Amino acid sequence: MESCAACNQKIKPSLKLKCVTCKKAFHHDCLNIHHENFISLTKSNWNCSFCTNISRRKRGNLNSPVQNTTLNESNNDTLNMSCDDHNLSLMNPVQPSCGSSGFGNPITLEQISHLLDTKMEIMRVNLAHDINIAVKKEIGSVVDVLKSEFTATTDFLCAEQNDLKVKINAADDKITDLSTQSMTIQNDLLALKAQVESYERLSRSCNVEIQAVPETRNENVVDIVRNLCGVIKTTFNENEISNCRRVAKIDASSTRPRNILLTLPSSRQRDMLLSAVKRFNKMQPNDTLNSTHLGVKGDKSSVYVAEHLSPDLKKLHANTRKTAKAKGYKFVN
């Protein structure tokens, strides 16, 4: 069994390639020839790289393990074999048992691993350095852009904030001024309201309201007043009556009849009429003043005679009566 001229290992016939010129045998793996290409190769006229390139070899190649191994076994010549890159790759780290150094020393797996680790570490350091520089450069440019944009944004926001502060201060001053004006207007309004209320009371000081008198068609309110005066035994000269009419309701949804407004010549006469009604009701508690006393046809209903109060005083009087009734008060002043 022949030995491989590259690795000096025994060669099985099925894995052997033999040069027809120099008659040296090789593993097809040592020649870096794949198994598929080895099967299809014509073995009868195959020449090794040394014999193929001997005519154009100019100088030795100390990096060819096949060259060194072959020459050391034959004539110790220092001539190196020039390897064909398409047919021979003698540095095969996958099979360290078949490799050799450029000086005939075998390369161990530990040496190959150490070389690969060293080379990878150098590549890693260089790559990390390059990446660090590239990242710093890119980040620096991005940071500069961001600084510029952020500065522009902050300047814009500061300007807007200053404008907003000016507007807020102006608005605060205006609000303060408006608040002062509002207080003044409210005080004036209260004074005017009190003055109007005084005028309302004064203008109604001679008026009397006859309430809850049923309304009939073609009624004569003067006859109703005349009957009232006859019932309570109070006489008035009709010529002294300034006005006598029904007035509109404050609450249009109310079902009560419209009140009759009677205007007398003086507040003294008004008070005399109110006193007479109170005496009549006091003397006849079981038959107080009602619609039949006034000659109004229809169902009997109570009739009330009171001062002509302003709308605010009417609300106050109604709420007072409601509260007095709820609390059981007998008298309310």
Per-residue confidence band for 258, with pLDDT thresholds at 50, 70 and 90: very high
DSSP letter for 223, please.
H
Digit-coded pLDDT (tens) for 202-212? 888 889 999 99
Q: Are 79 and 70 in contact (CB under 8 A)?
A: no
Digit-coded pLDDT (tens) for 73-105? 443 333 333 334 433 333 343 344 444 444 445
The pTM (predicted TM-score) of the whole model is: 0.45
Digit-coded pLDDT (tens) for 19-58? 888 888 888 778 878 777 777 776 667 788 778 766 444 4
Residues 6+ apart with CB under 8 A from 64: 80, 81, 82, 83, 90, 102
| Exposure b/e, 113-148, CB count within 10 A at least 16 = b | eeeeeeeeeeeeeeeeeeeeeeeeeeeeeeeeeeee
Q: What is the model's pLDDT at position 43? A: 65
State mean pLDDT over 232-240. 79
Cα distance between residue 302 and residue 36, in whole Å? 130
> For the chain, what percent of residues have pLDDT higher than 70?
83
Mean pLDDT of all residues belonging to the chain: 79
Q: What is the model's pLDDT at position 105? A: 57
Cα distance between residue 333 and residue 318, in whole Å? 13
Q: Which of 317, 320, 324 is nearest to 211 (CA)?
A: 317
Count of residues making up the chain:
333
State mean pLDDT over 315-323. 87
Digit-coded pLDDT (tens) for 281-294? 999 889 899 989 88
* CA angle (317 as vertex; 316, 320 as ends), nearest 5: 85
Residue 242 has pLDDT above 50, yes or no: yes
More confident site: 31 or 266: 266
